[in-house]
Structure 1
Amino acid sequence: MFSNLFHSAITAVYCGTVILFDLIKERSLHKSLKKNLLQVSIVLVWFIVLAFEYSGGRSDSFEQGIDLALSFRQFMTMIGAMSIAYKIIVLLSVIGFIWLLRMKKDVGILPMIIVSGILETAFLLLLNAKVHYMSRVEASWGTWFYLILFCVTVFVYVCKSVGAELDNNIGDDLRDKVFWGSLLTLLIMIVFSWYPDGKFAISSTRNPDYDQCYDTSSYIFNSIVDADRAGQTEMVLKLPKSDRADEFTFVPQIGNTVSNSLYLQGIISHKINVMEEFDESLNERFLPKE
């Protein structure tokens, strides 16, 4: 509940969906709330966290206004950045879900997962309309989490239904073949999800070069780690000189920010005072080409 809103919403939305489904089933608000006290408590705590987040100091830094259209465009960009192989998996999962419905098979918690995914996506679209982060995987992770959960759960229920049919109609030999076929299918899905390298296509307009981003992070990180291993308590970190108004990487105190984080995470053994020195000769290496 006390992680960032992008991620805590995953739990809160699911708990809210459980309450909603039970309310529809019981047709009594009192019975539904009483039956789901844990879920109600989680949702209430999350609303308290939401109030703190709204009034927190960092919230003042997001003053660019609400832009739901931008949030939706970023969301569509992320969908377009999914690999073809994973889109095939999603399509097969949808077909599997439709097959379960048509054959009147057990769909278990799938309706709850679908509704939770829809509500989570709606929340993230609204939240990112303010902070403009929908094109970042970590900010839209709730949507992809529920999509992955949907695909895996459909696969489980389809295999369960097919297995039950085999138990009723055929012998062990064919059932074993279906088991190994299902296992092979699962392995193929894992490979498809990993191939070619597990990265989304770059959706940032600020720096579209993945290798350059990695080089920048590695350079700052390794410079501080090397200073720690050398026993230094102070160091000078050379950075390119950027004239962008929205620059947030190559700025004063970025070195101490990274250094403090590395120290708190136990990666370096002591705090290092980092002083930045801006050098235009590094611009070609680190700044994106216009």
Structure 2
Amino acid sequence: MPVRKPSTERQRRLGAELRRMREHIGMTINEAATVHRTDRTTVSNTESARSGVSSDRVRVWAANYRCPDASYIDALAEMARERGPHWWDEYRGALPAGLLDIAEMEHHAAALRSAQIMHMPGLLQLPDYMRGIFAEAVPPMSPTDLEQHVAFRLRRAQILDRSDPPPCEFLVHESALRMRFGDRRVLLRQIEHLLRQAERPNVAVRVVPFRAGGFANAGSSTLYACGPVPQLDTVQIDVPTGVTFLHAETYLVNYRSVLDRMRERALEAGESIDFIRQVAEEI
């Protein structure tokens, strides 16, 4: 396979999984190259996503690594088989690569769980609300960049309109319902939109009210994308340096726990809708 640059998060994840599979049985790169009847450069470039890999090669390497999990292997082979271009590739070079990786992750997710503290969930935002958020960006965005970010986020939201949309659970803290990005009318329209989106059969919006007290991960935003098999789940978090993706098993276990603990503090879906309406009346 030819060397490619730059790789996407999904491609890097596939390479990382092949590396983990090799390391799990204690095989070195040189030993793997011998078993695969190739050279160590090919193994190294594949694991680091500097070069592509076919689905057939994924299956051969998995067999050589004696991996017994057929569902896991099928999912990895599908990752290798599925190629673009996709709609987010239109933005390549114009927006940070991490944003495109988020869109790709959402596109392939079997389910999505989102935790939001100060903002409404990105997939459920209206354009004017988005503009209010992006207007606070550091460093400031130009008007053109701001509108491009709005258009991109709206395209991401179209995942909810697919014929097979993923099940989505949005955990929203009360502070996000009350924080104004834009004026009062913008916030009211955003809340009304949130209520409409909550009527979708695949969307569950659950509110964590102030009275629930503190909870895990209160200071950040988390998106947990469920893969076709649990080993391929991905956590995406926003940090001051940009978008970060986590997929080591320890991270997955910890973030599942974080979301589960926050969920325990959240109101049930029906109660959450009533709570959102009450907040709207108070604004």
User: TM-score w.r.t. structure 2 length?
Assistant: 0.25
User: TM-score w.r.t. structure 1 length?
Assistant: 0.25
Structure having the higher Rg: 1
Structure 1 or 2: more strand by fraction = 2
